[in-house]
Structure 1
Amino acid sequence: MTRSPVGPDGAALAPAGPGVLAYQKRLQDSQWWPAEQLLEHQLRELARLVAHAWRTVPFHGARLAAAGLEPGRLIDLERWQRLAPLTRRDIQQAGGDLESTAVPAEHGKILTTRSSGSTGTPVTVRGTIFDAVVGKALMLRHCLWHPYDFAAKFASIRRVHGGTYDYPHGLHLDRWGDSATFPFATGPSSILSIGASIAQQAEWLLREDPDYLMTFPSNVRFLAAHCRERGIVFPHLEHVTTFGEVLSAETREECRRAWDLFVIDVYSAQEVGIVALQCPTHEHYHVQAETMFVEVVDERGEPCRPGQTGRVLVTPLNNYAMPVLRYEIGDWAELGGPCPCGRGLTVLKRILGRERNALLVAPTGERYWPAFGTRKLPELAPIVQHQFVQKSLQRIEARLVTARPLTRREERALRAYILANLPYRFELDFTYFDELPRNDAGKFEDFVCEATG
């Protein structure tokens, strides 16, 4: 990998390769740039990305032309805002037309990411090694922003595949992660599959006795409540890091009540990577503006002002394999003003949406993360959108929107696959819809629990 975008002073603003700490030093500098300088960098990177998409991505040509965004021209925000937002349904329907026909060779191997469909509409996105390396650098930035002792023990409870991650042992490693993320020695780490019940997770953490825990917000909310009700504390746990969903104020408070510790959040999505990191001195977020162009727009598509809440649109600046321009990620956020910490990075005061409101309840009363193996569902049948509703302790309803009626063979394959991913042999019903409804707050929930237990 040789491509390295440059800042106004000519220094590289992207890593030359995995684990290159010179890029981390640049991030340490660029976080203090004034907002105007960051915007100048973003517009320059957008112009490069638009020119690439115009030439090599069939889906984007007519859309860019209609907005007046042509190669060789500086990006004008007024024209940029004419570009229609990209939806999850657009990505599903576009297929290969969203993929570049000429990915720069220096960006490395093409990687595939399949979202789990937290909005009920799973998508597949292509990226590159280069894009992934940038994401790893942002993860290290998160660790450098917050009080981590790299010699301590790190535990994570997340969605992983393979029996080596299962309860009761999980996987044990002699370092936190790969050398591309942590290009120096670290302490040990352990990983547990989120398929373990909440009670099993608590017991595993007592045995592992970590200094730090990373997991999903909704998972830690139920885990903290479980521990508070039973007086379970982890003697060395200093803080919890959450990712993958939106972190609510209620979840932060539950962790304070249970363990008297604070939560640090990473705002990310599988399709685009890290969008924003929690400020080192406040509970709001800083957009990772060097690598991501983020907009918050109102119902008319106009930019929100600080204090206003709107839809979040994201444009990753380094994905040349499958450029997603003004991607409507499915979240709402409140735009913030300048941060007292002095960083010029855009502030998101609050983020709303995508936190699960419930866990799966087994007939025994144990609670589990609702993992239905949704990433693979579109491979088994032409599923456009899905929602799972637990109707009772024994029965689950799979609500599906499909591109065409399913065959009996497809239904059998879906049933077998879904049931194989659940901790108990539930009864499973299929119902079909033209469109799945949102809740009273206007949000879509991919899992709803109506059972009591």
Structure 2
Amino acid sequence: MKAAPPRSTLTDALPSHTPGIRWPAVVGARDAAVLALLFQMESTQWLSAEALRERQDRQLEALIDHARRHCAFYRERLPKDLARWHDIALLTRADLQTRADAIRASVYPRAHGKTFDMATGGSTAEPVTVRRTALTQLFWQAATLRDHLWHRRDPSATMAIIRQFPQAVDETKPGRWGGVLRSGPAWLLPISTDVETQLRWLQKVDPDILLTYPANLDALLTYMYREGVTLPRLREVRTVSGTVTAALRERCRQDLGVSLTDLYSAQEVGVIALQCPDSGLLHVQSEHVLVEVLDEQGQPCREGEIGQVAVTDLHNFAMPLIRYALRDWAEVGPACSCGRGLPTLRRVVGRTRNMAMNPEGKLFWPVLETRRMLEAIPHLRQYQFEQTAENAITAHLVCAPAPSPEQLRTLQATLEQMLGHAYRWTWQVSDAPLPLSASGKFEEFISSIRDTGTSG
């Protein structure tokens, strides 16, 4: 009996760029640079937190010296002494919108490669444009490859990706998902596609891996549960650009029988944190970003505390982002049991504008459980809640037929139990899908209370 072929490995998937050499692969210069970074990262991840910070400070000194000399915005803003690091004012999206020319460097090292501009609205719908270099993309690629390595993904796997894309895609012709690797097919579908069509497409693609936004995954799971549909080949669900709750992870396990792997990134700075394959915590990618979680006084949060995230891209010399406030909020995690010294976040809890406010004026994070809402209104297709005042929330519901008064009363009681407070409710019911944000994402809870510091 013929033995089964061995499972593909990451090294098997490396393309050789040298004629006549098939194995081991002799890769091209750019791929070699990515692999060289990954080789170092495989070592540095085991350093202590103190050793990692010492190396970050070494790079910070070079970045700050460059920014002071070549960026008008930073000339007087940055101290020469890193001991005064926390005195540096946070860089805001408003700064990027109004002072981009002064933040961009007049010159940068030619060896960092060509520049390109990355435009993003984020979840805050406040568009900014950041100039990045070919070098910064190498770190993004290395972190992505590390993610594949940590989670032992089969390079030959089929991946289905449902998200926003910068250009039009052909959902009938796959690309590749492996970066420097020769990977299996990557089938692409725009996030604007309705959920029913998404599911039909997924059944046709029959992926091993699904990558999408958490809110879209929640909608898919709801529809699949209602229709009794499964994806038999699915091995893993990957999420980006959104808040992953414990309830969503549990739904993946129960409804799909697979784990959920999250990745925390931002277009402005690349990959920020990867999910640990052992503990599930999010490991900050200290080799290319310095991440701070700050309390209301601007001081570092301790383990278990939630604060706003500020990130410094250690290698962007074309447009240095130093202590950039992403308007994300995260919980500081503990030292990880896996032994890696990379700092951890227990969770990214949301964007500033996704915070709820109780009737007494205090902010908190709303936790909404889809299944409990479906118990109140079984034909609920989509929902979004907008807080318009301290004591008022407008509920945008998509369902047909329209819910009865009794169902709305039941839903209100369920929502107030989940939120922990009573509100004045306004119901807006439609059978048309709710619009996406400017960034192509969907937020289930938004605040439009202007005086809370949230964004519109």
TM-score using structure 2 length:
0.72
User: Counterparts of 1:108 and 1:267 in 2: how far apart (Å)?
Assistant: 26
Identity across the alignment (%): 38
User: Counterparts of 1:80 and 1:98 in 2: how far apart (Å)?
Assistant: 18
User: Counterparts of 2:254 and 2:434 in 1: how far apart (Å)?
Assistant: 32
- Whether contact under 8 Å (1:197, 1:367) holds in the other structure is no
User: Counterparts of 1:425 and 1:273 in 2: how far apart (Å)?
Assistant: 26
2:30 aligned with 1:17: yes
Are residues 344 and 203 of structure 1, via their aligned partners in 2, closer, same or farther at CA, if it must alter by over 3 Å? same
Give the aligned partner of residue 148 of structure 1: 153
- Whether contact under 8 Å (1:53, 1:60) holds in the other structure is yes
Task: Name the Cα RMSD after superposition.
Answer: 3.2
SS in 1 for 2:72: coil
Aligned residue among 113, 122, 138 for 1:117: 122
User: Counterparts of 1:441 and 1:144 in 2: how far apart (Å)?
Assistant: 45
Q: CA deviation at 1:200?
A: 0.7
2:108 aligned with 1:106: no
User: Counterparts of 1:200 and 1:103 in 2: how far apart (Å)?
Assistant: 47
- Whether contact under 8 Å (2:382, 2:434) holds in the other structure is no
Give the aligned partner of residue 449 of structure 1: none
Larger-Rg structure: 2
SS in 1 for 2:30: coil
Amino acid at match of 1:102: V
Give CA-to-partner distance per residue, 1:246-296, whole Å, 9 cap, x none: 222232223223212111001011111111001111221000011100111
Give the aligned partner of residue 133 of structure 2: 128
2:82 aligned with 1:43: no
2:265 aligned with 1:252: no
Are residues 273 and 390 of structure 1, via their aligned partners in 2, closer, same or farther at CA, if it must alter by over 3 Å? farther
Are residues 111 and 161 of structure 1, via their aligned partners in 2, closer, same or farther at CA, if it must alter by over 3 Å? closer
2:319 aligned with 1:306: no
TM-score using structure 1 length:
0.72
Aligned residue among 174, 189, 193 for 1:172: 174
Which deviates more from structure 2 when the two are superposed, residues 126-135 or residues 109-118?
109-118
Structure 1 portions without partners, runs of 5+: 1-14, 370-388, 394-421, 427-435, 447-453
Equivalent positions of 1:391-406 (< 5 A) are none
User: Counterparts of 2:63 and 2:253 in 1: how far apart (Å)?
Assistant: 43
User: Counterparts of 2:434 and 2:222 in 1: how far apart (Å)?
Assistant: 23
Aligned residue among 38, 43, 47 for 1:33: 47
User: Counterparts of 1:232 and 1:144 in 2: how far apart (Å)?
Assistant: 31
Q: CA deviation at 1:83?
A: 0.2
Aligned residue among 335, 341, 346 for 1:344: 341
2:322 aligned with 1:325: yes
2:269 aligned with 1:272: yes
Q: How many residues align?
A: 356
User: Counterparts of 1:128 and 1:35 in 2: how far apart (Å)?
Assistant: 28
Give CA-to-partner distance per residue, 1:48-85, whole Å, 9 cap, x none: 00000000011111211xxxx22xx5x22xx0000001
Q: CA deviation at 1:170?
A: 4.1
- Whether contact under 8 Å (1:19, 1:137) holds in the other structure is no
Are residues 307 and 330 of structure 1, via their aligned partners in 2, closer, same or farther at CA, if it must alter by over 3 Å? same
User: Counterparts of 1:425 and 1:286 in 2: how far apart (Å)?
Assistant: 33
Q: CA deviation at 1:311?
A: 1.1
- Whether contact under 8 Å (1:284, 1:347) holds in the other structure is yes
User: Counterparts of 1:251 and 1:103 in 2: how far apart (Å)?
Assistant: 44
Give the aligned partner of residue 334 of structure 1: 331
User: Counterparts of 1:119 and 1:171 in 2: how far apart (Å)?
Assistant: 32
User: Counterparts of 2:160 and 2:276 in 1: how far apart (Å)?
Assistant: 22
